[in-house]
Amino acid sequence: MYSDKQKKHTIDILFVLILFGVFAISALMLVIMGSTVYSKTVDSMETNFNDRTSYAYITEKFRQNDSINSISIEQVNDNSSFVFSKEINNESYQTYLYIHDGYLKELFVKKGETLPLKAGNIILEADSMEITKIDTQTFQCTVKKDGSYTFFLLTANTEQK
Amino acid sequence: MEQKRMQIFHPTTSKSGIFLLELIIVILFFSIASTVCIDMFVKSYTMNTDSTNLNKCIQISENFAESFKNSSYSQENINSQTYYYDKDGFPSSENSYTYYAHVSYTTSGTTRSAIIKLYTSDAFIYSLQVDKHIPERWVKDEK
């Protein structure tokens, strides 16, 4: 006569365990793959955003201040910075675009005053900025952030000293 | 006796069948879900790469447009030219480029145009046309 309980083989349990293992590993790999793709996408989006924003912002400021001898380069905090000069009510004012504390900042001050670097408005994150004057109208600007470079040329319509 | 044995044996066989069927359904569902996920990952990666390429190519072409607008007539080369750039948009050699730009020039009346076409090693990415005014006497001199 057969007993109520059928004889269990080791393979029965082993098969289920192996299947569970394969299932778990596959699910884990899928999650790891997803998180890798997601983090790469986010990194890349951030890099693209920084690229576009730094380029658009600096270009816009450059064009706004495109008048004779109003654009110059100064060293601020071991980095190059753009200085845009403007006359308001016979007083000279300057707008600085500079790097401080890991950020690209903007500061509007009266000419000749000490630059309170911390007081600048934060534009976006950036590690360094290098500006070179190629000729009287063209500037080459390189903004670096986390090993990624944004390199662009700016051409003024007017001559700059 | 035999009948009783069959009654006992039959339900157990049926249980295994259901378990196997359940496993097959679960694996099938998992396979479908994985396929959809992997497809989405690949699409997201491709879109990400395309977006990065487009971003860089726009920057490169705008840099070129800036220097074109500023160049004097005598400095310009009116023949088509190819320029090579690395992944960050810096000029590079022909052997180690990520992007290349093919630039062609046309003149119509007093308007000079540069058509900048940007490519990666295997695909066209972006095109930009820049126009600038040139004095009439320069056009006459050229003729």
Q: How far apart are CA A64 and CA A72, in angstroms?
A: 14
Are residues B48 and A41, on separate chains, in Cβ contact within 8 Å? yes
CA neighbor of A154 nearest in space, from A66, A67, A77 = A66
- The SS3 call for residue A72 is strand
pLDDT in tens, A13-28: 888 889 889 889 998 9
Q: How far apart are CA B96 and CA B92, in angstroms?
A: 7
Measure CB to CB from residue A4 to each of B8, B37, B51 and give the nearest one.
Answer: B8
Q: How far apart are CA A145 and CA A149, in angstroms?
A: 6
At a CB cut-off of 8 Å and minimum separation 6, what does A50 contact?
A124, A125, A126, A143, A145, A148, A150
ipTM of the complex in this document: 0.73
pTM, two decimal places:
0.76
Give me the percent of chain B exceeding a pLDDT of 90.
37
Are residues A155 and B9, on separate chains, in Cβ contact within 8 Å? no
Domain residue ranges of chain B, discontinuous segments joined by +? 16-142
From chain B, the residues in CB contact with A38 under 8 A are 44
> What is the least distance, in Å, from the CA of A33 to any CA of chain B?
8
pLDDT in tens, A77-114: 889 999 999 999 989 999 999 999 999 999 999 998 88
